[in-house]
C-alpha cells in the first residue's frame, strides 16, 4: 500500500508540473525563450492532464474505491427468510455484466459488486463492506486478470493467490459459501491482449484456483474451458475486445454460474 501511495504522489507531482507548464503556455504566461522551446500545448492536452490529475487524486484518496458502492450497500436490507442471496465480487468482467452486455440474472437475489480495472488487493480491502456486510449465502469471486496485467503495479502469482485465500478465508469465517471462478481466456484477434495478460499465466493461475477450491471444499466455476477456441484463445464471437465478454459471452457464462451457485447451496 505504501508503494502505491508513494507512486500516486509521484504521478500527481509530475502531472502538476506538466499542467502548470501547459497552462502557462496556453494563457500567455512568460517563459524563458529558448531556440528549442516546445510548441504550446493544445487545449485538449491541458484537459487530458487535468483529467489524469483528477483520477490520480481520486485514487490516492480512495485506492480500493470503497465509495463506489457505499451508498448502495447502506440501502441493501438484510436477507429475507429463505433468501439465497449471492454477491458477485470482481473486476470489469463482473462490473459490465448487465450494465453493458448480457443480463444479470433477472429476478434472482443476486448483487453485482464488480469494479472495472480492480485487482485482488483492492477487492480484499472492500470485501467486508461489499460482500460480508450484505449477508449473502454465496459469494462468486472472479479476480486476477488485472493483477497479471499490472493494473496496480507489478505483482506475482503468489501474491494473487494470497489475496484470493484471504477473501475466501473472510467468507468462510462468516458462513458464506464460496464459488471461485477461473479467469477468462484472452485473444489478440480484435486488439492486442496477450502481451499484458500472457495466456500461460492465466492457465497457471486457473490451475491453482481449481486445486485450491477442490482442497478447501469450494466450488470451482470453470468459465475458461467453455470459452476457448482450438488455439486456446478466447472465442472471437464471445467478446467485443478480446478481453471482455459480449452478449454471447455472458450467455455462455450465466448458466455455468447458476450451476455453480446451486452446487454451493447443496
Q: What is the pLDDT of residues 169-205, one digit of tens each?
A: 999 999 999 999 999 999 999 999 999 999 999 999 9
What's the pLDDT at 184? 98
73 in Cβ contact with 216 (< 8 Å): no
What's the pLDDT at 48? 78
What's the pLDDT at 37? 56
Predicted confidence band of residue 259 (pLDDT cuts 50, 70, 90): very high
What's the pLDDT at 19? 41
Q: Please report, in angstroms and rounded to a whole number, the separation of the first and last CA atoms in the chain.
A: 39
pLDDT at 11 over 70: no
For residue 41, give Cα distances in angstroms to 10, 20, 21, 34, 176: 22, 11, 9, 16, 54
In the predicted model, what is the mean pLDDT of residues 39-66?
78
Q: 77-116, pLDDT tens digit by residue?
A: 999 999 999 999 999 999 999 999 999 999 999 999 999 9
**Counting every residue, how long is the chain?**
266
75-265, superfamily in CATH?
Answer: SGNH hydrolase (3.40.50.1110)
Beta carbons within 10 angstroms of residue 88's beta carbon: 27
Domain boundaries, the chain: 2-27+43-60, 75-265
pLDDT at 127 over 80: yes
User: How far is residue 45's CA from residue 51's CA, in Å, rounded to a whole number?
Assistant: 10
Cell numbers of 223, please? Answer: 468459465
Beta carbons within 10 angstroms of residue 97's beta carbon: 26
Tell me the pTM. Answer: 0.81
Amino acid at each position: 500500500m505504501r508503494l502505491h501511495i508513494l507512486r500516486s504522489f509521484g504521478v500527481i507531482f509530475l502531472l502538476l508540473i506538466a499542467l502548470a507548464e501547459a497552462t502557462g503556455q496556453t494563457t500567455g504566461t512568460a517563459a524563458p525563450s529558448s531556440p528549442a522551446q516546445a510548441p504550446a500545448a493544445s487545449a485538449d492536452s491541458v484537459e487530458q492532464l487535468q483529467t489524469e490529475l483528477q483520477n490520480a487524486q481520486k485514487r490516492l484518496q480512495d485506492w480500493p474505491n470503497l465509495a463506489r458502492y457505499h451508498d448502495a450497500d447502506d440501502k441493501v436490507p438484510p436477507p429475507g427468510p429463505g433468501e439465497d442471496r449471492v454477491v458477485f465480487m470482481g473486476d470489469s468482467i463482473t462490473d459490465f455484466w448487465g450494465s453493458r452486455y448480457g443480463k444479470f440474472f433477472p429476478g434472482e437475489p443476486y448483487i453485482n459488486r464488480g469494479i472495472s480495472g480492480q485487482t485482488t488487493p483492492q477487492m480484499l480491502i472492500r470485501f467486508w463492506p461489499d460482500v460480508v456486510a450484505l449477508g449473502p449465502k454465496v459469494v462468486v469471486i472472479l479476480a486476477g486478470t488485472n493483477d497479471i496485467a499490472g493494473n496496480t503495479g507489478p505483482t506475482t502469482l503468489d501474491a494473487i493467490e494470497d489475496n484470493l485465500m484471504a477473501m475466501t478465508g473472510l467468507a468462510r469465517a462468516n458462513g458464506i459459501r464460496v464459488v471461485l471462478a477461473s479467469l477468462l481466456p484472452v485473444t489478440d484477434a480484435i486488439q492486442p491482449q496477450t502481451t499484458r495478460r500472457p495466456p500461460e499465466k492465466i492457465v497457471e493461475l486457473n490451475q491453482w484456483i481449481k486445486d485450491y477450491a477442490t482442497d478447501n471444499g469450494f466450488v470451482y466455476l470453470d468459465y475458461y474451458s467453455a470459452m476457448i477456441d482450438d488455439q486456446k484463445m478466447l472465442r472471437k464471437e464471445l467478446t467485443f475486445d478480446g478481453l471482455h465478454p459480449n452478449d454471447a459471452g455472458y450467455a455462455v457464462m450465466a448458466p455455468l454460474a447458476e450451476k455453480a451457485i446451486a452446487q454451493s447451496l447443496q
